[in-house]
């Protein structure tokens, strides 16, 4: 027992130092062990020049093979991203290689990032960076090894807003009018895409079985995610739904000058008025219920007769039921000498 005790306690300081050095050597060797993994990284495009648009569907994620030491900083793939700096891009097709075949090298270990330099026919240089890559980590491969971007100039265009109606109103009713505010919007996006668009449709409006007006605030359905509406996010749509109407013709409506004591003389004595009434209307509208009034006040004498559009005055009984569609002739002649 004394021999063992002497063995362990003799030169105990040197033995402790030796044990510590052995442990540190083991840690150093273990930390140099390399671990390789494949992670999915998002592609982020930054610094897009003003008035440029991406018009094609490009790769949004890539697979990256990463090798790092066990003792290096922890690698959190959620913090990583492939960032493409488009500062120097121009209209046209840009093919951005994600390989190590460039003069400046694929791995920039001292900076903890990757710099990819691509020389294109347009003489533009695009820089790609793996963001938040820990020091000492190596990117062995990125798949796919290149990204293709089709860049176009931004085009702005004024287009009309077209409401999209679905279904039919209740029996005996119809859509008699649709008003959209604003009626036009400014559309922007890639030039080739905007050039093919002539209208912006609203979200569908279901009028099935309705018998009363609708007032809705609707978004516009552009169908193409590359298009944008500038300044506004929605439009106000007023849909008028009312009872169906039938046509009524009234011939021989008298033309009356106003004021009546004017020296002007009417050369047109009677007109025909065409209008509509609800299909349920049971009344009878005759020539005695209408007048075609012509305002002659202030007319100056001249050789040729004046031509004036008459205003149809309706009996109070039928206001709201009868709607004037047309007058024949559209203008009546008035002579002033």
CATH value at residue 286: 2.170.120.30
Cα distances (angstroms) measured from residue 184 to each of 179, 214, 233, 235: 12, 20, 13, 10
For the chain, the domain total comes to 3
The count of other CB atoms within 10 Å of the CB of residue 51 is 13
CA–CA separation, 97 and 75 (whole Å): 24
Asked whether residue 221 falls in the same domain as residue 147, the answer is no
Query: What residues in the chain have per-residue pLDDT under 50?
Result: 100-124
Indicate the residue among 153, 171, 188 that finishes a domain.
Answer: 153
Asked whether residue 52 falls in the same domain as residue 146, the answer is yes
225 conformational bin, left if phi > 0, alpha if psi -120 to 50, beta if neither: alpha
* pLDDT, tens digit (0-9, with 9 covering 90-100), for 254-277: 999 888 888 888 999 999 999 999
User: In this predicted structure, what is the pLDDT of residue 69?
Assistant: 65
User: In this predicted structure, what is the pLDDT of residue 240?
Assistant: 96
Asked whether residue 129 falls in the same domain as residue 174, the answer is no
Counting every residue written for the chain, the total comes to: 337
CA–CA separation, 242 and 90 (whole Å): 55
Q: Are 124 and 89 contacting, i.e. CB atoms less than 8 angstroms apart?
A: yes
User: In this predicted structure, what is the pLDDT of residue 222?
Assistant: 85
CA–CA separation, 288 and 139 (whole Å): 93
Residue 90 lies in a domain: yes
Q: Are 189 and 52 contacting, i.e. CB atoms less than 8 angstroms apart?
A: no
User: In this predicted structure, what is the pLDDT of residue 106?
Assistant: 34
CA–CA separation, 257 and 306 (whole Å): 13
Asked whether residue 231 falls in the same domain as residue 295, the answer is no
Give the structural domain span for 101: 34-153
Asked whether residue 148 falls in the same domain as residue 48, the answer is yes
Instruction: Return the structure tokens found at 140.
Output: 């062995």
User: In this predicted structure, what is the pLDDT of residue 81?
Assistant: 84
Asked whether residue 148 falls in the same domain as residue 39, the answer is yes
* pLDDT, tens digit (0-9, with 9 covering 90-100), for 271-318: 999 999 999 999 899 999 999 999 988 888 888 999 999 999 999 999
Tell me which residue of 28, 48, 41, 115 sits closest to 88, measured CA to CA: 48
Residue 19 lies in a domain: no
User: In this predicted structure, what is the pLDDT of residue 105?
Assistant: 32
Residue 9 lies in a domain: no
Q: Are 44 and 95 contacting, i.e. CB atoms less than 8 angstroms apart?
A: no
User: In this predicted structure, what is the pLDDT of residue 330?
Assistant: 94
Residue 20 lies in a domain: no
Residue 170 lies in a domain: yes
Asked whether residue 47 falls in the same domain as residue 149, the answer is yes
Indicate the residue among 153, 187, 204 that finishes a domain.
Answer: 153
SS3 content of the chain, % helix, strand, coil (to 5): 10, 50, 40
CA–CA separation, 69 and 72 (whole Å): 5
Indicate the residue among 123, 153, 183 that finishes a domain.
Answer: 153
SS3 label, residue 193: helix
Tell me which residue of 229, 321, 252 sits closest to 280, measured CA to CA: 321
Taking only Cα atoms into account, the Rg of the chain, rounded to an integer number of angstroms, comes to 41
Residue 14 lies in a domain: no
Q: Are 336 and 263 contacting, i.e. CB atoms less than 8 angstroms apart?
A: yes
CA–CA separation, 172 and 246 (whole Å): 11
CA–CA separation, 171 and 148 (whole Å): 56
User: In this predicted structure, what is the pLDDT of residue 16?
Assistant: 66
Ramachandran angles phi, psi of 256, nearest 5°: -125, 135
């Amino acid at each position: 027992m004394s021999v063992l005790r002497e063995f362990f306690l003799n030169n105990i300081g040197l033995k402790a130092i030796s044990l510590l050095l052995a442990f540190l050597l083991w840690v150093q060797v273990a930390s140099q062990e390399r671990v390789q993994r494949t992670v999915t990284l998002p592609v982020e495009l930054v610094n897009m020049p003003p008035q440029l648009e991406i018009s094609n569907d490009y790769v949004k994620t890539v697979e990256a093979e990463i090798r790092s030491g066990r003792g290096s900083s922890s690698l959190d793939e959620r913090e990583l991203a492939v960032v493409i700096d488009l500062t120097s891009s121009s209209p046209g097709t840009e093919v951005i290689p994600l390989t190590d075949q460039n003069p400046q090298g694929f791995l920039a270990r001292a900076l903890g990032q990757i710099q990819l330099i691509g020389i294109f026919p347009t003489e533009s240089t695009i820089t790609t960076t793996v963001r938040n890559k820990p020091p000492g980590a190596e990117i062995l491969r990125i798949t796919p090894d290149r990204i293709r971007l089709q860049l176009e100039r931004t085009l702005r265009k004024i287009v009309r807003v077209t409401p999209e109606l679905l279904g039919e109103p209740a029996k005996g009713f119809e859509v008699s009018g649709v008003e959209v505010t604003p009626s036009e919007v400014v559309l922007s996006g890639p030039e080739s895409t905007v050039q093919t668009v002539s209208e912006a449709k609203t979200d569908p409006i279901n009028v099935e079985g309705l018998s009363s007006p609708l007032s809705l605030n609707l978004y516009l359905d552009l169908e193409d995610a590359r298009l944008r509406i500038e300044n506004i996010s929605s439009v106000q749509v007023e849909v008028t739904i009312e009872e169906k109407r039938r046509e009524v013709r009234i011939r021989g409506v008298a033309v009356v000058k106003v004021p009546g004591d004017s020296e002007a003389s009417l050369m047109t004595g009677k007109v025909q008025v065409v209008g509509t009434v609800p299909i349920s209307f049971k009344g009878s509208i005759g020539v005695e219920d209408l007048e075609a009034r012509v305002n002659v006040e202030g007319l100056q004498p001249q050789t040729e007769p004046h031509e004036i559009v008459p205003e149809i005055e309706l009996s109070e009984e039928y206001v709201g039921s009868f709607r004037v569609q047309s007058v024949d002739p559209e203008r009546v002649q008035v002579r002033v000498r």
